[in-house]
Structure 1
Amino acid sequence: MTNSNSNQNISSEQKERLLSALKERFEENTERHSALDWTAVQAKIEANADKLRSLHKMEETGGEPDVVGYDESADEYIFYDCSAESPAGRRSLCYDRKALDSRKKNKPENSAADLAMEMGIELLTEEQYRELQKLGEFDRKTSSWVQTPDDVRQLGGALFCDRRYDKVFVYHNGAESYYAARGFRGVLRV
């Protein structure tokens, strides 16, 4: 399944707006990446049109992507969705295509796994979600699907996380379920 815009370049105006928003967010949240330099990050983004499109999709759907780390061995900057709540443009989705196809009626428009793939990003793992929560307080009113182990998924379940009572919780639900307050957060390596 491909998004009609997934193979299209973003306009130079969209690129400028995106880079400006990313730079501003980077500078306002230095605690997420204190030892990193924006100039180097921007150069990596501009050198890869596919990653630029993925970041644009993350921003466009309300994810507020920001750099949360750097993998020196791979020479990659790691971006997570850092919006306070699960990205508004990625909610009301079941977990994956199998779950979507299993619904006989009242199907959501898409699944989290399919939309992530269309965007060129991956769902956060539970470990990555917990890392994100060390950088701030996220999903205090919403929840986010996370990558689910195969054994859980084979039994029909899927995992999601949120933050309540100053703690991070991991829950399970039927993978075909979807809620207006549940979306997903992504990770992108640039």
Structure 2
Amino acid sequence: MGKSNKQKLSAAQQATLLATLKLRFEKNMPRHKGLDWEEVETRLKANGDKLWSLQIMEETGGEPDVVGFDKKTGEFIFYDCSPETPAGRRNVCYDREALDARKEHKPADSALDMAEAMGVSLLTEEQYRALQQLGKFDLKTSSWIETPAAIRKLGGALFCDRRYDHVFVYHNGASSYYAVRGFRGALKV
């Protein structure tokens, strides 16, 4: 995936994506109580680079949806809301440093590099816990989350999942990767 999130969607791609997002919005109203689709759509149409990021979130299996509104910035907040961590973003280590440190059996990419290329950020622990208030996610998979610098400096990285009806935060070596671990993105529009 290239590092250009400045790409634009064609009119047909925009229409298809907006229809998908609208349908998801309408089917999942508890995720965004008090928000109006027309306002979201207007904002999306005015931000082509963000539409491109949402398209990549969609293409990689993220099922992005509106989960809130940031009153400070006036932006709508989207998270990946797929039941399991997005299938097109699994089997990746945490970051470039971890990827470069692997001597053999390197994964194809890292979560932070992919997120940057997509124009999104990894969910923080707080954001991940907020997402879990909207439904039950990652019952069979896990998702890398933004890791504090002090932990990363020592070679670790954090990930989350939901088991036994509780959200758990774990640690692993940043260079580890698994077929059931990916990452969820956050995007403000």
TM-score in terms of structure 1 length: 0.97
In the TM superposition, what are the counterparts of 1:169-188 in structure 2 within 5 Å? 169-188=168-187
Task: Give unmatched runs, 5+ long, in structure 2.
Answer: none
In the alignment, what sits opposite 2:47? 48
Equivalents in 1 of 2:6, 2:79: separation in Å? 22
Describe how 1:143-162 pairs up with structure 2 within 5 A: 143-162=142-161
- In structure 2, the residue matched to 1:69 is 68
* Deviation larger for 62-71 or 11-20: 11-20
Q: Which amino acid aligns with 1:186?
A: G
2:17 is the alignment partner of 1:25: no
Deviation >4 Å, runs of 4+: none
The percent of aligned pairs where both chains have the same amino acid is 63
Deviations 1:36-67 (A, max 9, x none): 00000000011011111111111110000000
User: Is the alpha carbon distance of 1:13 and 1:4 closer, same or farther for their aligned partners in structure 2, counting shifts above 3 Å?
Assistant: farther
Work out whether residues 4 and 117 of structure 2, in 8 Å CA contact, stay in contact via their aligned partners in 1: no
TM-score, normalised to structure 2's length? 0.97
In the TM superposition, residue 4 of structure 1 has moved relative to its aligned partner by: 6.6
Please name the residue that 2:87 is paired with. Answer: 88
Correspondence for 2:167: 168
Between the two proteins, the alignment pairs up a number of residues equal to 189
**1: distance between equivalents of 2:117 and 2:4?**
9
Q: In structure 2, what is the Cα distance between the partners aligned to 1:123 and 1:5? A: 18
Alpha-carbon RMSD: 1.1
Tell me, in whole angstroms, the C-alpha distance in 2 between the residues paired with 1:103 and 1:36: 45
Determine if contact 2:7/2:49 at 8 Å carries over to the other structure: no
Equivalent residue, structure 1, for 2:135: 136
Listed one character per residue, the Cα deviations across residues 74-119 of structure 1 (whole Å, up to 9, x for unaligned) are 1100000000000000000000000000001111110000000000
Q: 1:168 to 1:4 in 2, by over 3 A?
A: closer
Tell which deviates more after alignment, 66-75 or 85-94.
Answer: 66-75
